[in-house]
Structures are given as structure tokens and as C-alpha cells.
């Protein structure tokens, strides 16, 4: 663990093993921290806050630029580590490292754009001055599915704003987190400004993060159930909270759309990271006149998606994170098939030969999916594409909105009016219109409802780490 500028073991002396999800091979062991380690990290961040928060914006920008350059220089090594630890294909790992580095560069620029303002007063002898200052110590909990970019998406704006931080890395991917913190150490981050805690059991760490009086803000990315609990406890202690949670994204193909183009986009997006992405499309609503063309194209595409070790050439789907994830996907598919869905491609676990020791599920296409099936209502987080046929265009937006989640949605149409009406009518934080990659460091990312509170990325992201202070001056 990295606390107060030093690499440390857990106070208990304990450790836990990290496995390659493709092979089951143990690749490393890391400290198994607990509440005492978390409290020490929070104390270190608290002690460092005064110095870091009063540093110049230029100094903070320079640090982030150095971190960006270092991450860029060692991108291949980071990508290989990610594929080994998390399992995604090497090509996808390379893309994620670049995305992660983009946040460092973007917020290096944003650090110098945090400004205040003069406000007019009705009194001639009064002036108002508004300052935006860092909130304080930030506790961060990050997920395993994007084990580098989800760190920089939180760390970069917090540091740019002048906050110090403690990060609890996902127990499945602590090695990627360690590599990121090595970059910040080498970039010259002052002791205590960034702190890393690793633990197999996240509960004691979460309790410290939500109750320690030195923590001013909690930011979490993960499941809705855990996020709701953490946000509730943190809010009860009057801490700032931002949470990015689950999704159940609709993918709507309107009658005027090109169904072949839509299917190509759906196939490319659905199997990214083996479907283990919160913005992955989970419900593909295809108009009945396009069902044959869409499904035919999807069958062709999905049949060509090869599962396997992310280091092997041509692999498009790596392993799932663990056996519980495989079981969840299998349960949803078996339930859907039992209720009448048709598994046109896949529909089964992969457990023979090269898949014997890993956590694999076959890339799957389900037709005939409908309400009443688990997969229609629950987030899958796996390589399964469910197709739902609809006939009434006037009702499809209501069908898409019929969920408590509100993170991402996708629309394919060639009509501008349809695009605008769908964009306005869908209750989701991110809408891709003929676009399956509506994300960037400069764009706001976040959802509504059970998908979370707050935004990451863009200038909105740095606002999450700033307090507004008003000064009234009598002349």
C-alpha cells in the first residue's frame, strides 16, 4: 500500500493473492489492509491537504502533465499488466490506457481554469466575491472492470482541484492500481497527497471512508446496492457524495434506421470488455420490419467473436471476473431460454480445453426476449446480446425508460426529428445517437436514478471536488 509517500505492508501483516482470470494462475500477492490502514491513509491525506490545497494551479497542472507523460511512455507495460490481471484483450487494454491518460492531460488543463467571480450587489457600498476551493480529503473506491481509467477519472480532477485522496482499489485488480500510484510517485507527488489501500474485504475500509471526520467527500464506482449503502452512510455524516452505479442500457433501432449498420454497432459495443461495462447495451429494441436484417447481421458478427486469453491474437472476448459472474450470466440466459427465448449463438459456459481454469462464457445472441425474463429487468454484465422486437414506435421510448437505471442509452435513426425527440425523451445521462462510443475525458459521464449521482469527466467533473465560498465586502 502507498501511504504518506511510502510503500507499506498491512499493519496486520496479512496479504491476499491476485489471480489471472483467464488461467487461474496466481500472479502476485498484495497487502490485505484493514480499518487501521485506512485511518492511517486518511490521516496522511489530511496532513498533506493544507500544503497541496494552497499550491498553485500551475504546480498541480505540471504534476498531472508529468503523470500523463509517464503513463503514455509506459502504456504498453500497463496494457499487458491489465490483460494479465483483468483479462480483457490486449487491444482493449491499450485503448483503456490511452483513455486513462487522457484524463490526466485534460485535468492538467482544467486545473488552471478554476476561477471565481465578482457578483453585483444592490448596495452601492458592497461587493461580493466568489471563490471555488477544494473540498478536502476525498475517499475513492474504484471498480475492477476498468482498473486504470476509473482511477484517473477520479484522481485527476480531485488533484487538479487541490484535494488530497485515499483510494481503495478493487480487490480483483490491485496491481493496476499499484502501477498507477507508482506513476504518481515518480511524477513527484508530495507525500500524503495520494494514498492507496488494498484489501480483500472492502467493508472495514468503506466504514472508515464513510465515517472518518477527516473525509470530506466519497466517490464510488460499482454496484447499485453497495453504492446506495455507502452513499446513505456518508450522507448521514454530511459528506459530499458522487456515485457511478449500474446500468441497463436500451439500444433502440427505429424503422427509418439502417438495420445492418445498427447491428454492427451493437455487436461492437456489446462484447467490449466481455460485456462487463456499465454502459453496455442490455436491451436491444428492434422494429419488427428490421428484425430479420438486424438478427442476421448479429448472428454473422457474434459467431465470429472469439473468446479466449486476452494475449492471444484474434480474441474479442476475454474471461469474466470470477465464477460468480459466470454463474449470474448463465442464470439469466437459462431463465430466458426457459421462458421462450432462442439462443441463436452461444448460450453456454466455456469450460473445456483452454477454458478449463478460467471464467468464460460464450458470446451469446438471444432472440425473442420479452418482459418477465430476468435478462429483461436485470443488468447482465456479460457477453449476452438480447433482442426484443417491437411494433409501436410511439411506445418504444416508454419501453426503454421502463427501468430504475438511467446511465446510457443508444438510438439508431436517420431522421433528425426522431433523434432529437429520442434524445430529449430518454431518461438516461448518456445518449449515443448512431454512436456506440459517446465517451471522452472532455465529456460528462454519469447517470440518473439507480445509476448514480454526479458526473465525471469534462468541466463538470472538477466541480464535484470544489466548494463555493462567498465573501461580502462592505466598502
HSE, CB side, 13 Å, CA atoms: give it for residue 237.
Answer: 19
In Å, how far from its chain's centre is CA 58? 28
Encode 173-228 in three state secondary structure: CHHHHHHHHHHHHHCCCCCCCEEEECCCCCHHHHHHHHHCCCEEEEEEECCHHHHH
| β-bridge partners, 433 | 411
Q: How far apart are CA 173 and CA 321, in angstroms?
A: 10
3-class secondary-structure state, position 41: helix
| Catalytic residue check, 278 | yes
3-class secondary-structure state, position 298: helix
Query: Within a 10 A sphere around the Cβ of 421, how many other Cβ atoms?
Result: 14
Question: Which one of 96, 163, 278, 456 is the catalytic residue?
Answer: 278
End-to-end CA distance of the chain: 52
DSSP 445: B
Backbone dihedral angles phi then psi of residue 275, each to the nearest 5 degrees: 75, 5
Quote the cell numbers at residue 367: 432472440
HSE, CB side, 13 Å, CA atoms: give it for residue 397.
Answer: 13
Q: How far apart are CA 45 and CA 218, in angstroms?
A: 14
| β-bridge partners, 168 | 141, 197
Q: How far apart are CA 69 and CA 62, in angstroms?
A: 11
- Asked if residues 432 and 408 have their Cβ atoms less than 8 Å apart, the reply is yes
Q: How far apart are CA 48 and CA 62, in angstroms?
A: 18
Question: Which one of 96, 244, 379, 464 is the catalytic residue?
Answer: 244
Catalytic residues: 244, 278
Amino acid at each position: 500500500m502507498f501511504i504518506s509517500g511510502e510503500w507499506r505492508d498491512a499493519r496486520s501483516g496479512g496479504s491476499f493473492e491476485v489471480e489471472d482470470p483467464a488461467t487461474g494462475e496466481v500472479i502476485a500477492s498484495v497487502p490485505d489492509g484493514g480499518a487501521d490502514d485506512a485511518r492511517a491513509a486518511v490521516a496522511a491525506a489530511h496532513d498533506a491537504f493544507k500544503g497541496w490545497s494552497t499550491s498553485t494551479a500551475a504546480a498541480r497542472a505540471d504534476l498531472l502533465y508529468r503523470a500523463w507523460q509517464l503513463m503514455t511512455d509506459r502504456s504498453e507495460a500497463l496494457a499487458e499488466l491489465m490483460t494479465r490481471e483483468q483479462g480483457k484483450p490486449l487491444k482493449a487494454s491499450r485503448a483503456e490506457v490511452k483513455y486513462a491518460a487522457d484524463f490526466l492531460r485534460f485535468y492538467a488543463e482544467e486545473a488552471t481554469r478554476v476561477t471565481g467571480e465578482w457578483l453585483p450587489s444592490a448596495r452601492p457600498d458592497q461587493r461580493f466575491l466568489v471563490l471555488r476551493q477544494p473540498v478536502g480529503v476525498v475517499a475513492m473506491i474504484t471498480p475492477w472492470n476498468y482498473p486504470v481509467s476509473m482511477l484517473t477519472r477520479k484522481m485527476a480532477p480531485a488533484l487538479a482541484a487541490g484535494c488530497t485522496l485515499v483510494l481503495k482499489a478493487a480487490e480483483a485488480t490491485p496491481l493496476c492500481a499499484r502501477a498507477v500510484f507508482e506513476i504518481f510517485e515518480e511524477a513527484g507527488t508530495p507525500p500524503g497527497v495520494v494514498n492507496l489501500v488494498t484489501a480483500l474485504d472492502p467493508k472495514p475500509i468503506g466504514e472508515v471512508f464513510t465515517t472518518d471526520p477527516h473525509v470530506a467527500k466519497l466517490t464510488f464506482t460499482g454496484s447499485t446496492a453497495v453504492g446506495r449503502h455507502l452513499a446513505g452512510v456518508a450522507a448521514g455524516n454530511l459528506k459530499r457524495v458522487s456515485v457511478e452505479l449500474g446500468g441497463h442500457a436500451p439500444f433502440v433501432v427505429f424503422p427509418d434506421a439502417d438495420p445492418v449498420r445498427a447491428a454492427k454497432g451493437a455487436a461492437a459495443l456489446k462484447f467490449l470488455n466481455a460485456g462487463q461495462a456499465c454502459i453496455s447495451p442490455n436491451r436491444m429494441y428492434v422494429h419488427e420490419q428490421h428484425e430479420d436484417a438486424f438478427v442476421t447481421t448479429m448472428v454473422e458478427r457474434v459467431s465470429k467473436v472469439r473468446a479466449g486469453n486476452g494475449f492471444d491474437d484474434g480474441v474479442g472476448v476475454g474471461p469474466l471476473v470470477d465464477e460468480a459472474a459466470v454463474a449470474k450470466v448463465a442464470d439469466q440466459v437459462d431463465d430466458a431460454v426457459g421462458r421462450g427465448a432462442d439462443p441463436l449463438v452461444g448460450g453456454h459456459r466455456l469450460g473445456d480445453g483452454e477454458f478449463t481454469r478460467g471464467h468464460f462464457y460464450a458470446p451469446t445472441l438471444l432472440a425473442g426476449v420479452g418482459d418477465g425474463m430476468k435478462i429483461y429487468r436485470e443488468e447482465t454484465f456479460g457477453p449476452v446480446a438480447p433482442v426484443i422486437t417491437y411494433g409501436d414506435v410511439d411506445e418504444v421510448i416508454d419501453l426503454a425508460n421502463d427501468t430504475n437505471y438511467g446511465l446510457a442509452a443508444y438510438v439508431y435513426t436517420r431522421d433528425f426529428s426522431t433523434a432529437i425527440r429520442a434524445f430529449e425523451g430518454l431518461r438516461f445521462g448518456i445518449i449515443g445517437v448512431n454512436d456506440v462510443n459517446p465517451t471522452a475525458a472532455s465529456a460528462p459521464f454519469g447517470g440518473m436514478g439507480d445509476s448514480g449521482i454526479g458526473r465525471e469527466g469534462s468541466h463538470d467533473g472538477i466541480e464535484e471536488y470544489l466548494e463555493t465560498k462567498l465573501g461580502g465586502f462592505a466598502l
